């Protein structure tokens, strides 16, 4: 149990960190402020104007960061659970499955108000790069696992 909690915590912060970094870089490359994708995540509470906020603050950035970390914890928990059930599978299989599920849920299942909000700041290509960063983070959190084959 302790190992699972630790594994979820590590994966949570790996996902949140990797995707936030990818989005911040993408925002800068696309002419926005690095904090805007994180601020945009607070649009579930503050509406679409959250994406226009260019400074870090508790109201937008704090809510966006908390929301992003909570979402990352959900996907990290699913990943750790998948790693622990059934026959051993290549880690890349489970990381790809969870990443694909996250992308589909985030942009095809939930109502627009509950999307990550990144679409208000960066391009679809940059959003795809954020999910690629999520995949990489999940794979790397399992680097000591024997299932790399």
Domain definitions of the chain by residue range = 2-141
Q: Each residue of 3-28: pLDDT tens digit?
A: 789 999 999 999 999 999 999 999 99
Dihedral sign, Cα of residue 21, residue 76, residue 123, residue 113: negative
Query: By percentage, how much of the chain surpasses pLDDT 70?
Result: 94
CA distance 83 to 50: 36
Q: Each residue of 20-59: pLDDT tens digit?
A: 999 999 999 999 999 999 999 999 999 999 999 999 999 9
């Amino acid at each position: 149990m302790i190992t699972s909690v630790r594994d979820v915590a590590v994966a949570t912060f790996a996902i949140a960190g990797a995707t936030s970094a990818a989005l911040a870089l993408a925002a800068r490359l696309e002419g926005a402020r690095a904090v805007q994708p994180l601020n945009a995540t607070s649009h579930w509470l503050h509406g679409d104007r959250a994406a226009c906020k260019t400074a870090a603050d508790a109201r937008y950035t704090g809510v966006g960061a908390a929301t992003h970390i909570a979402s990352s914890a959900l996907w990290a928990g699913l990943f750790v659970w998948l790693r622990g059930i059934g026959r051993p599978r290549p880690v890349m299989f489970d990381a790809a499955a969870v990443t694909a599920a996250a992308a589909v849920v985030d942009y095809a299942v939930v109502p627009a108000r509950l999307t990550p909000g990144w679409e208000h700041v960066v391009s679809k290509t940059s959003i795809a790069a954020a999910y690629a960063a999520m995949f990489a983070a999940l794979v790397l959190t399992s680097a000591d696992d024997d299932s790399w084959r």
